[in-house]
Chains A and B, each alone.
Chain A
Amino acid sequence: MFATPINRLRQRISAKAEAWAERRQGLDPRSVELERRRVYILPTQQGVVFAALLFAMLLGSLNYANSMGFVLTVTLASLGFVAMHHTHRNLVGLVVRANPTRPVFAGSEARFTIQFANDAKADRSSIRLEYRKHAHGETDVPSGETRRLDIVVPTGQRGWLQLHRYGVSTTFPFGLFRAWAWLRMEQRCLVYPHPAPRGKTPPPVPSDYGHSLPDARGQDDFSGLRGYRAGDAPRHVAWKASARLQNDLLVKEFEGGGATTRWLDWDALDNEPDIEKRIGLLTRWVIDAEENGDRYGLRLPGETIPQGHGESHYHACLKALALLEVQ
């Protein structure tokens, strides 16, 4: 697009229109059926070219009193008219839901999954998901079925990443008209801090903090196998034994609770002045500790997460780091 006055005008008009629609519609619940009043429709660029063609052919047919030319013109015009209604119908009544998002680490892509459900008898074709002027996939939604598309957004900062207004649109069947609806749902993705590089600053020695196990042999004290549970460290998986089983993973279990116990402490990183780097280091430690199968706790300014391990503990720690605010 060139920055011609016309384009600038167009951008201004579309910005105004979007703001108007947003005021009109407000915030949507997480599941919305697109009603008539919120589905907008306008001819596409291609539709305008098509209309120009029709006009030229109309003049030609009238001038030459050419009946077949007239038949062609009025057939195509009627087709465009019918197609406009179909384009509109293709979108009206579509149910749009926002699926829960999974947290991601800063720097990777956040994925907002939007689900389309078609409760109508007729199929819906070529439904497109748009976010910030970019298409994020296109799908058919057959009658009675649901389909998903993802809005993929690159992440930079830790914290909540809010999904802004997005569009659901279609130009089916002929690309002459574009029907669309704007949606804004309270939909956000938790962005964990970007972890510091692996192994650069090792976590403090366990014995320095709190009580560590009296027996330094720790985890080497193998006592048996058990089934895999979420949160088990990969290095505890008994690969050889698991290979003999078809679907299950086995995990080595160790005598006496076996794991190292440590505190990951904000204040221990006083020598790192940059707050984000400090958070990155703590994030790295949390990841490593979880992988090692350690028991770990997190001490942050204004918040302390007691020692523990496993998936929910791990995510609680990362969430605390993601949302940490330091004056």
Chain B
Amino acid sequence: MDRLEQAPARASMGYLLVSLAILFAAQASYVSPWITVFAYTMLAWRWLVADRGWKLPGKWLRSAISIGVFAAVFLTYGTINGAEAGSALLMVMIALKLTEVRKLRDSMLVIVLGYFQVFAGFIYSQEIPISIWLMIATFALTSTLMVMTRNQQDIDVKSSMRQSGKLLAQAIPFAIALFLLFPRLPGPLWGVPSAGGDAVSGLGDSMTPGSISNLVLSDEIAFRVDFNGEAPPRSERYWRGPVLHLFNGRTWSQGFLQFAESDRYERGGRALNYEVTIEPNEQQWMLALAVPSEHPRDAVLTRDYVLVADKPINQRRRYEVTSWLDTTMSPQLTNLEERWALQLPDRFNPESQELAAQWREEEDSNRAIVERALRMFREQPFVYTLQPPPLRGNTVDDFLFNTQRGFCEHYASAFTFLMRAAGIPTRIVTGYLGGEFNPVSGDFVVRQSDAHAWAEVWFEDSGWTRIDPTGAVSPSRIEHGISEAFGDGENVPGHLRRSSTDWLWEVEARWEAINAAWNEFFLAYGPDAQQSMLALLGLLNGNWVDLVLMLGGAFLLLGIALTAYLAWMNRPPPADALRRQFERLRKGLEKSIGSGPAGEGPRDFLARAQRELPAAQAARLAVFTNIYLAQRYGAQADAGDISEIRRQVSKLLKAQRSAAV
């Protein structure tokens, strides 16, 4: 036990510090900069201590620094929970621990903390680049563990890396078996933290001017869709999210019906089956095309025909949905629903109210009024822009009669206002429109920049019917997507200017396809995937017992292979192999020349064979004898290579056999 009390050698310490430097680089991308600076400073300082023999600080100074640094971490993050604060805390803990590493025991503890830091990194993000980097850091830590165990003054870095690499390579088959077969849990054991670095902000549960156009500035992927069968055209790919009823003059928000379950609709039209992989967004919307009547069991279809998960989506999740595209939504409207769909703030936007009243008088049907409104958007000089001027006072009036520049949210909002003022039940739907096909992965990528808002108008003959006023202003937004929707003078973010002929676009498509595969097959590997794997193997109702049995079997087989390999590594020295070759030769030759006296030694046997064999074989035997005696008794009896001996024996025996026939 006294080994751990030794002081780490200077070279081992250097090795440890380099590994930590590699590890910290992965965290540097997301912890507060001062923590990174602090950690690297400590690494450099600890090296000087090891190299120059400086003194480590005393207990009081150490405690003072520790208290100060921990307080600073707390002040920076306001918490010590969560992936970011946790990583930061571990990083300063490791850095501080370095100030008291005097013994091997301490440095081993640092390595264990380092492994835990890698784990915290994965909790923060499992993106491919950071995962690769963290695995490199794991390897560095592992070879440090070996270096520390040996704790030699001189380290052969290459051989340390090679040795630990070899061990890691041998561990990988076991790791694969464990990864695939260790039974996973269907749900968390305790609370799951927020998704940390992976979370993207998505659609909110309300809409104010600017909330959608802000979203459009983000290039993040919102979700990916894999259609089983032919995909509908872009202009039909309206992914429905929160439906908004209440308007206070500025903000649209949901009514109280949001979570009531839908009960009145008839499926119609063709069924479309597809799978959605949604990124974590801390919301509950599971976006789908109308009307997703077949959906996962942990989601409900609300009265607004929105699919809502039973808890916030804080991890990437994949769900399968079947939508009936021509379903009539709500053929009847309850009084309550009608009241919500007609709600307007009193004495607000008088000009718009007046316009709506005028339309009501002039037109004889609701459809005609809708058409009238769309015609207004089409014919008057309305502009579709990401940078609308701010609206003042009666916002809808200001927009319709003054600025006439707006984004989808402005058009949807103004349209809905007008319709309600004309007495037509109307509501706003937010969601996404379109999505780009990725030819590499074969699925559609829907980004935050595809966020959209439109309206649904209730007609007696067709229920809730989608009307998209943006289409009247900018048809290309609907037909070709947002990147085509703006005029040349518009100052739009670069990612919206992408064209599909761009080589950069192609690289990005590939990268996203790789990411999608990574997410789907690797990160999403869980109980369901294990279930289907068992089914593939013919175990239809397989459970964790089968998994454990298979795991045991795999370990048994792999363990036998490993033991056999190690026994081979421990095989007897080549000198014995030499002896075996000699015995093989003796056995072969004695068939023709007969066996000699008991206890005949190798030299005697060779001399006898030399006399009794025919001349040709005798000459060969002389060659063998020379090599054999040199290797067995000679000065350079190291016997590295016995292949030459083996070749000679084979030739001799073959010649002897053919001579005998």
Q: Check: B259 CB closer than 8 A to any chain A CB.
A: no
A64 touches B (CB below 8 Å): yes
Indicate whether A93 reaches chain B with its CB closer than 8 angstroms. Answer: yes
Stretch at the interface among B141-149, B448-456, B537-545, B607-615: B141-149
- A89 and B563 CA atoms in complex are apart in Å by 9
Compute how far the CA of A202 lies from the CA of B568 in the bound complex, rounded to whole angstroms.
67
A215–B157 CA distance with the chains assembled, in angstroms: 73
Given A53-B115, A120-B573, check contact A85 B566 (CB 8 Å): yes
B598 within 8 A of A: no
Contact B525 A77 (CB under 8 A): no
Question: Which of A166-174, A185-193, A287-295 is near enough to bind chain B?
Answer: A166-174
Contact B179 A71 (CB under 8 A): yes
Q: State whether the Cβ of A128 lies closer than 8 Å to any Cβ in chain B.
A: yes
> Which of A57, A122, A144 is B570 in contact with, Cβ under 8 Å?
A122
Residue in contact with B123 in the complex, picked from A64, A120, A134, CB distance below 8 Å: A64
Residues of B within 8 A of A135 (CB): 2-3
Which residues of A87-146 are within 8 A (CB) of B? Answer: 88-89, 92-93, 119-122, 125-126, 128, 133-135, 144
What is the bound-complex CA distance between A89 and B567, given in angstroms? 8
- Contact partner of B163 (CB less than 8 A), chosen from A75, A77, A79, A173, is A173
Q: Does B319 contact A (CB under 8 A)?
A: no
Within 8 A of A (CB), among B555-569: 559, 562-563, 566, 568-569
Interface residue count on the B side (C-beta < 8 Å):
63
Among listed A42-50, A152-160, A228-236, A313-321, interface-contacting one: A42-50
Interface hit among B17-25, B166-174, B210-218, B486-494: B166-174
Q: In the bound complex, do residue A172 and residue B562 qualify as a contact, i.e. CB atoms below 8 Å apart?
A: no
In the complex, B38 has a CB within 8 A of chain A: no
Complex Cα–Cα for A134 and B3 (A):
9
- Contact across chains for A65 and B167 when beta carbons are under 8 A apart: no
Hey, what's the 0/1 contact readout for B106-123 against A, CB within 8 Å counting as 1?
Answer: 001100100110110011
Contacts A67-B522, A93-B570, A128-B3; A75 near B171 (Cβ below 8 A): yes
Q: A72-B138, A78-B174, A86-B167 are in contact. Are A67 and B126 (CB under 8 A)?
A: yes
Whether A173 contacts B146 in the complex (CB less than 8 A), given A45-B4, A72-B118, comes out as: yes
What residues on B are CB-neighbors of A64 within 8 Å? 123, 188, 192-193, 315
Main secondary structure of the interface of B (DSSP, over half): helix
Q: Tell me if B48 is interfacial: C-beta within 8 Å of chain A.
A: no
Instruction: Say yes or no: A121-B163 contact (C-beta < 8 A), given A53-B115, A82-B174, A174-B149.
Output: no
A93 CA to B571 CA, complexed, in Å: 9
Q: What is the minimal beta-carbon distance from A141 to any residue of chain B, in angstroms?
A: 13
A77 partner residues in chain B, CB cutoff 8 A: 174-175, 178
Is A79's CB under 8 angstroms from B126's CB?
no
Q: Which of A58-79 contact B (CB under 8 A)?
A: 59-79
Q: Does B523 contact A (CB under 8 A)?
A: yes
Q: Are B148 and A175 interface neighbours, CB within 8 A?
A: yes
Is B266 located at the chain interface by the 8 A CB criterion? no
A120 near B1 (CB under 8 angstroms)? no
State the Cβ distance, B548 to closest chain A Cβ, in Å: 14
Q: How many of chain A's residues have a CB under 8 angstroms from any CB in B?
A: 53
B173, B189, B570: the one contacting A59 at CB < 8 Å is B189
Closest to B118 in A: A72
Max chain B C-beta neighbours (<10 A), residue from A45, A64, A119, A121: A64
Our count of residue pairs bridging A and B at CB distance below 8 angstroms stands at 158
Q: Are B123 and A82 in contact (CB under 8 A)?
A: no
Residues on the B chain within 8 Å of A61, using CB: 119
From the candidates B109, B131, B189, name the one contacting A68 in the complex (CB within 8 A): B131
A74: chain B residues at CB < 8 Å are 174-175, 178-179, 182
* Contact (A172, B172) CB under 8 Å given A53-B115, A57-B116, A79-B142: no
| Interface presence of B190 (CB below 8 A) | yes
0/1 string, B183-197, CB within 8 A of A gives 1: 011001110110000
B21 to chain A, nearest CB (A): 19
Decide: A119 and B175 in contact? CB cutoff 8 A: no
- Check B570–A71 contact: CB distance below 8 A: no
Query: How far is it, in angstroms, between the C-alpha of A50 and the C-alpha of B525 when the chains are bound?
Result: 26
Counting CB contacts under 8 A, is B164 at the interface?
A: yes
With A and B bound together, what is the CA distance between A282 and B169 in angstroms? Answer: 67
Say yes or no: is B591 at the interface (Cβ < 8 Å to chain A).
no
B112's partner among A49, A60, A66 (CB-CB below 8 A) is A49
Which A residue sits closest to B2, measured CB to CB? A135
Residues on B with beta carbons closer than 8 Å to the beta carbon of A78: 171-175, 178
Q: Does B150 contact A (CB under 8 A)?
A: yes
| Contact call A82/B188, Cβ cutoff below 8 A | no
**B146: contacting residue among A49, A56, A119, A174, CB under 8 A:** A174
Are B112 and A53 in touch, CB under 8 angstroms?
yes
Instruction: Choose from A56, A126, A144 the contact partner of B150 (Cβ within 8 Å).
Output: A126
| B contact residues around A46 at 8 Å (CB) | 4, 105, 108
Bound-state Cα–Cα, A59 to B182, Å: 12
Q: Determine whether the beta carbon of B122 is less than 8 Å from that of A62.
A: no
With A59-B189, A82-B167 known as contacts, the answer to whether A121 contacts B571 (CB < 8 A) is: yes
B563→A85 contact, CB < 8 A: yes
B472 within 8 A of A: no
- A residues 21-66 in Cβ contact with B at 8 Å: 45-46, 49-50, 53, 56-57, 59-66
Interface: B482 (CB within 8 A): no
| A83 interface residue per 8 A CB criterion | yes
Chain A, residue nearest B145 (CB): A174
Q: Which of A63, A69, A173 contacts B119 (CB 8 A)?
A: A69
| B525 touching A67, Cβ below 8 Å | yes
Asked whether any CB of chain B lies closer than 8 Å to the CB of A81, the reply is yes
Q: Which of B138, B174, B315 contacts A65 (CB 8 A)?
A: B315
B526 interface residue (CB < 8 Å to A): yes
Which residues of B have CB within 8 Å of A171? 3, 149
Q: Within the complex, what minimum Cβ distance (angstroms) separates A311 from chain B?
A: 32
Residues of A within 8 A of B33 (CB): none
Q: Tell whether B134 is near chain A: CB-to-CB under 8 Å.
A: yes
Give complex CA distance A74, B172 in Å: 9
- Compute how far the CA of A67 lies from the CA of B184 in the bound complex, rounded to whole angstroms: 10
Which residue on chain B has the smallest CB distance to residue A83? B167
State in angstroms the CA–CA spacing of A170 and B122 once bound together.
34
List residues of chain B with CB within 8 A of the CB of A82. 167, 170-171, 174, 562
Q: How far is the CA of A125 from the CA of B184 in the complex (A)?
A: 38
Judge whether B571 and A120 touch: CB under 8 Å.
Answer: yes
Residue pair A75, B569 in contact (C-beta under 8 Å): no
* Bound: A125/B164 CA distance, A: 13
What's the Cα separation between A126 and B152 when bound, in Å?
10
The docked-state distance in angstroms from the alpha carbon of A156 to that of B425 is 107
CB < 8 Å: which of B150, B185, B638 contacts A63? Answer: B185
A64 CA / B195 CA spacing, docked (Å): 10
Instruction: State whether the Cβ of B597 lies closer than 8 Å to any Cβ in chain A.
Output: no
Complex contact A75–B168 (CB within 8 A): yes
Q: Can you list 16 A-B pairs with a CB-CB distance of less than 8 A? A: A45-B1, A49-B112, A53-B112, A62-B189, A63-B188, A63-B189, A64-B315, A65-B526, A66-B126, A68-B122, A68-B523, A76-B115, A82-B167, A86-B167, A121-B569, A173-B167
Binding site for A on B (CB under 8 A): 1-4, 105, 108-109, 112, 115-116, 118-119, 122-123, 126, 131, 134-135, 138, 142, 145-146, 148-150, 163-164, 167-168, 170-175, 178-179, 182, 184-185, 188-190, 192-193, 315, 522-526, 559, 562-563, 566, 568-574, 638
Chain A positions near chain B (C-beta within 8 angstroms): 45-46, 49-50, 53, 56-57, 59-79, 81-83, 85-86, 88-89, 92-93, 119-122, 125-126, 128, 133-135, 144, 171-175
The 8 lowest CB-CB distance pairs between A and B, nearest first, are A78-B174, A74-B178, A78-B171, A175-B149, A122-B569, A68-B122, A119-B573, A78-B175
